[in-house]
Amino acid sequence: MDVRHWVNQALEQHQLWRDQFGPVPTVEALTVSDEAMTAAFAAYTERMQDNYPFFHPRWVGQMLKPPHPAAVTGYLAAMLINPNNHSRDAGPATEEMELEIMGQLATMFGFEQPLGHLTTSGTIANLEALFVARQLHPDLGIAYSEDAHYTHERMCRLLGVQGYPIPTRMGTIDLDAVAQLAAAKKIGTVVLTAGSTGLGTVDRIDQALELKERYGLRIHVDAAYGGFFALLGRDEELARELDMVPEPWLALPQVDSIVVDPHKHGLQPYGCGAVLFRDAAAAVHFKHDSPYTYYTQSELHLGEISLECSRAGAAAAGLWLTMQVLPLTHDGLGAGLAASRRAALAWTQRLADDPLFALYQRPALDIVTYFPTAEPPVLSTVDAKTEAIVAAGMAAPADESLYLSVLTCSAGEFVKRHPEYAVDQEQVRILRSVLMKPEHEAWVEPTFTMLHDFARSSTNAAPPADAPAANL
């Protein structure tokens, strides 16, 4: 799929669409000379060189990748019109697309008559879910795991709700601790994570359902990162084939709200999150009357069920077009996620075969955490080696570079998993690779070989006796 062809098509179709309305006068004040634009564009191009190759399989670091060509085409074509999905009058076509998208996201999670909309980000989507949770349980707190995204703690403060961080077991929330808080009537809602940002773990949503039953506990699932894995996880056979635990995914239809970020695993450019409520009655919490935006009052406007006002109709357009060619099925969009999962399993296998590395813990999805082994086994050596490997990978020439990311763990969490390590500092940096590009699957071998070589060359030399302590 040649993005240049489709971008040209988008520009041409846009011109045809405009032409039917007749000519438009040029505005002198905004006219720019070719020379001025040439100079500005040259400066811009130069500035943009300062970027990392998020698109390349040798970028095995943070959760970043470019959008799909279909997303680029759909986004650009709509952006030229610039509809605003705040109201139907401001973006009739793209609001319609957004409603269709929400229907399909709901089907992916198993929600039957949900309420939902796109947001600018997972942060705002989570804020909306917690806002509704607070409206329903104004006097109760909200629990989230210590490995949940930091946004939950911050949003609780913003909403004036008492937040309760809950300890984790192997990176998933300790549901016994949640049950105690629920029994003591301290919390009305628990946030569970499906695909935690650091370790990529999935909380036991299925086991939490019992607390919903017993205490009326509201369950919000933050699946900003992992949500699209529902395409695989809710298919029990497929899940087992990919060595995923299906139970949490199968429980999704019974939770109260879900957040998913199409700008993470949905192949979209930034500016595309989504929130869904199982019970459409959540709409009452957003109700407001705006005298100036709604002229066609008969239909529901997305602006009426959102905390945000203006939202890019182009974000809906990009996602809608992507979903036409890669539908929300296990062999549509899901095929790419399955490739990422297989890449993570292959990476895990390579780690097991290489004495220079050890797996931190088994990956639940496509985020692998691991560390350079140390002899004697002390945390400060792991930390220093991690730093050296990351630096060496990034310092190599562009076409030989390797980009890894770092995860800072507490010493306590590290030795729970690897008790043979001596603790000589409170925190330790380990390696983290988000294998979210399907391209990784075919590249596990070459990238892992590079990793191995960087580990050998960068950590071979004994550090000088007066080497400064790793700077945390």
Ligand X SMILES: *Cc1c(COP(=O)(O)O)cnc(C)c1O
* Contact residues for ligand X, defined by CB under 6 A: 121-123, 126, 149, 151, 193, 196-197, 222, 224-225, 261, 273
Shortest reach from residue 123's CB to ligand X, in Å = 3
Shortest reach from residue 196's CB to ligand X, in Å = 6
Shortest reach from residue 318's CB to ligand X, in Å = 15
The answer to whether 242 touches 207, Cβ cutoff 8 Å, is: no
What is the rounded CA–CA span in Å between residue 86 and residue 91?
8
Compare residues 149 and 341 and give the one whose CB is closer to ligand X. 149
Integer CA distances (angstroms), 382 to 353, 406, 449, in order:
18, 12, 20
As given in the structure block, the two tokens for residue 419 are 């008790």
Compare residues 224 and 404 and give the one whose CB is closer to ligand X. 224
Compare residues 121 and 172 and give the one whose CB is closer to ligand X. 121
Compare residues 65 and 385 and give the one whose CB is closer to ligand X. 65
Shortest reach from residue 406's CB to ligand X, in Å = 17
Helices (H), strands (E): how many in the chain? 17, 14
Shortest reach from residue 434's CB to ligand X, in Å = 10
Integer CA distances (angstroms), 340 to 176, 203, 261, 439, 441, in order:
32, 20, 17, 8, 6
Compare residues 151 and 447 and give the one whose CB is closer to ligand X. 151
> What single string gives the DSSP state of each residue in 147-175?
TS-THHHHHHHHHT--EEEE-EETTEE-H
Shortest reach from residue 121's CB to ligand X, in Å = 3
Shortest reach from residue 263's CB to ligand X, in Å = 6
What's the N-to-C CA distance of the chain in angstroms?
44
Question: What is the Cβ-side half-sphere exposure of residue 209, based on CA atoms within 13 angstroms?
Answer: 12
What is the rounded CA–CA span in Å between residue 383 and residue 388?
9
Shortest reach from residue 319's CB to ligand X, in Å = 14
Q: Where do the H-state alpha helices sit in 162-250? A: 175-183, 205-215, 230-233, 236-241, 247-250
State which H helix or E strand residue 222 sits in. strand 218-223
Which amino acid is located at 16 in the chain? L
Compare residues 260 and 333 and give the one whose CB is closer to ligand X. 260
Q: What angle do CA 4, 9, 14 make, to 5 degrees?
A: 130
Compare residues 235 and 261 and give the one whose CB is closer to ligand X. 261
Helix axis angle for 69-79 and 313-325, nearest 10°, is: 140
Shortest reach from residue 262's CB to ligand X, in Å = 10
Shortest reach from residue 194's CB to ligand X, in Å = 8
Question: What is the Cβ-side half-sphere exposure of residue 180, based on CA atoms within 13 angstroms?
Answer: 7
Shortest reach from residue 86's CB to ligand X, in Å = 19
Q: What angle do CA 417, 390, 392 make, to 5 degrees?
A: 140
Compare residues 84 and 196 and give the one whose CB is closer to ligand X. 196
Compare residues 222 and 235 and give the one whose CB is closer to ligand X. 222
Compare residues 63 and 402 and give the one whose CB is closer to ligand X. 63
As given in the structure block, the two tokens for residue 102 are 């929400």
Q: Which residue is nearest to ligand X (CB)?
A: 122
Compare residues 127 and 392 and give the one whose CB is closer to ligand X. 127
Integer CA distances (angstroms), 280 to 12, 106, 324, in order:
40, 12, 26
